[in-house]
Amino acid sequence: MNARERYGIPHDSVITIAGTVGVGKSTMTNALADALNFRTSFEKVDTNPYLDKFYQDFERWSFHLQIYFLAERFKEQKKIFEYGGGFIQDRSIYEDTGIFARMHYEKGTMSATDYETYRNLFDAMVMTPYFPHPDLLIYLEGSFDDILSRIKERGRPMEQETPIEYWEEMFTRYDNWIDNFNSCPVLRLNIADYDVLNDKTSIEPVLEKIGHFIQQSRKWRSSHLLT
C-alpha cells in the first residue's frame, strides 16, 4: 500500500501550500508530491519578467506584477481542473490578493485605481461558484528570525536587497490573514516541528494529518450537499 492509500488521501485531492516568502513552501510542495505521487504547480520565479523590476521599483511595477501572477495562477488552476486534481500547489491564489496586492495598496505602492481594477478582475475570475477551491490549504508558520535566515540562505539577489521592514510587514500581515481565512479548510504546520530536508520520516505525521483533514472536510461537504 502506498502512502496516499495508507493515509486515506483521495487521488484527486488538491492541496495548496501557503505562507510567507522563504518559509519553505516549495520544499514542502516537492516533499508532498514525492510522497503522494502527485503533480506539482509551482510559481515561476526565474522566468517572471516583472519580479526583478518590481523589487527595484514597487510603485512602477506592482500592478503589472499582480496581473502577471493572476494570469499565471489562473492558468495553473485551469490545468489542475483539467487533470482532475492530484496536485500540490506552491502558494495559493488567495495570497496574491489577501497579502500582496492589499499590502502594496495600503502602503501606497499601488494606486487606488489600479487596486480596484485588480480586485474587480480577481473577483470576476476567481470568486465564482465555478472556481474549484482546494481541499486543503497547508499554512506554514515559524519565527520571523528562522524565516529571515531561510531567505538569506536561499540568496535570491532581489530579496537580499529588499529592506527587512518589507519582510516584517509581510510576516505580520500573514498572521492576521490566516486567522480570518475561511475559503477552504486549513492545516497549520510549524516549521520547527518537521524537517523534510534532513529527516525524510518527518513527512509521515504531516501525511497523517492531511488524510484526516481531507476526509473530514469531504464528509462535511457531502453531508451539506445532501441536506
Ligand X SMILES: Nc1ncnc2c1ncn2[C@@H]1O[C@H](COP(=O)(O)OP(=O)(O)O)[C@@H](O)[C@H]1O
Q: Which of 138, 132, 133, 131 is nearest to 212 (CA)?
A: 138
Helices (H), the chain: 3-6, 25-36, 51-56, 58-83, 93-95, 102-106, 112-126, 144-154, 157-160, 164-179, 203-226
Query: Of ligand X, ligand LDVFA3IR, none, which one sits near residue 65, judging by CB under 5 to 8 A according to partner kind?
Result: ligand LDVFA3IR
31 binds ligand LDVFA3IR (CB under 6 A): no
- Concerning whether 123 is annotated as a catalytic residue, the answer is no
197 binds ligand X (CB under 6 A): yes
Query: Of ligand X, ligand LDVFA3IR, none, which one sits near residue 24, judging by CB under 5 to 8 A according to partner kind?
Result: ligand X
142 binds ligand X (CB under 6 A): no
- Of 205-224, which residues contact ligand X (CB under 6 A)? none
Three cell numbers at 101? 496586492
153 binds ligand X (CB under 6 A): yes
Three cell numbers at 208? 497523517
Question: What are 27's strand-pairing partners?
Answer: none
Question: What are 138's strand-pairing partners?
Answer: 17, 187
State the catalytic residue, choosing from 34, 90, 123, 179: 90
In this complex, which beta carbon is closest to ligand X, that of residue 24 or of residue 98? 24
Instruction: Give Rg (Cα) of the chain.
Output: 18
In this complex, which beta carbon is closest to ligand LDVFA3IR, that of residue 100 or of residue 115? 100
In the complex, what is the shortest distance from the CB of residue 206 to ligand X, in angstroms, rounded to a whole number? 11
How far is 57 from 117, CA to CA, in rounded Å? Answer: 20
Identify whether the C-beta of residue 15 lies closer than 8 Å to the C-beta of residue 136: yes
Candidates 159, 169, 195, 204; binder of ligand LDVFA3IR (CB under 6 A) is: 159
Identify whether the C-beta of residue 194 lies closer than 8 Å to the C-beta of residue 203: yes
In this complex, which beta carbon is closest to ligand LDVFA3IR, that of residue 4 or of residue 25? 25
In the complex, what is the shortest distance from the CB of residue 136 to ligand LDVFA3IR, in angstroms, rounded to a whole number? 18
Given the rule CB under 6 A, which of 18-26, 128-136, 172-180, 194-202 is the region that contacts ligand LDVFA3IR? 18-26
How far is 202 from 24, CA to CA, in rounded Å? Answer: 14
> Would the annotation count 227 as a binding residue?
no
How far is 95 from 161, CA to CA, in rounded Å? Answer: 23
**Which residues are known binding-site members for substrate?**
43, 55, 66, 91, 96, 159
Tell me the catalytic residues: 90
